[in-house]
Amino acid sequence: MKVENASTNLVTLARRIEALENAFTVALHSVSTALPTVKSDVIENLNRHAQAYKGKDPAVASATKLLINRIEAFNPKIRD
């Protein structure tokens, strides 16, 4: 594999991960609109996941914390 192809693959992978994060966040918000405790339950479980990996794999813990922050900050307005 050429270095050029490897960097292109990493960019593609990063974009796909970002798209999945966006889809997950929007879906979670949709569900939590009907069931408000869902969002807090998901955040609580993600925090446990991050804690479990804190000493083992800092990259996983960091990525999980970033996702938590993104979920917490995502509060779109619902129009009537």
- Two tokens, residue 3: 């270095």
Cβ neighbours for 27, distance < 8 A, ≥ 6 positions apart: none
- Write down the pLDDT at residue 21: 84
pTM (global) more than 0.75: no
* Mean pLDDT per 10-residue section of the chain, whose length is 80 residues: 65 85 82 81 90 88 89 73
* Residues 71 and 28 sit within 8 Å (Cβ to Cβ): yes
Which helix or strand (DSSP H or E) is residue 30 part of? helix 3-34
- Write down the pLDDT at residue 65: 92
- Write down the pLDDT at residue 48: 92
- Write down the pLDDT at residue 35: 80
**Rounded to the nearest 5°, which phi and psi values hold at 70?**
-65, -40
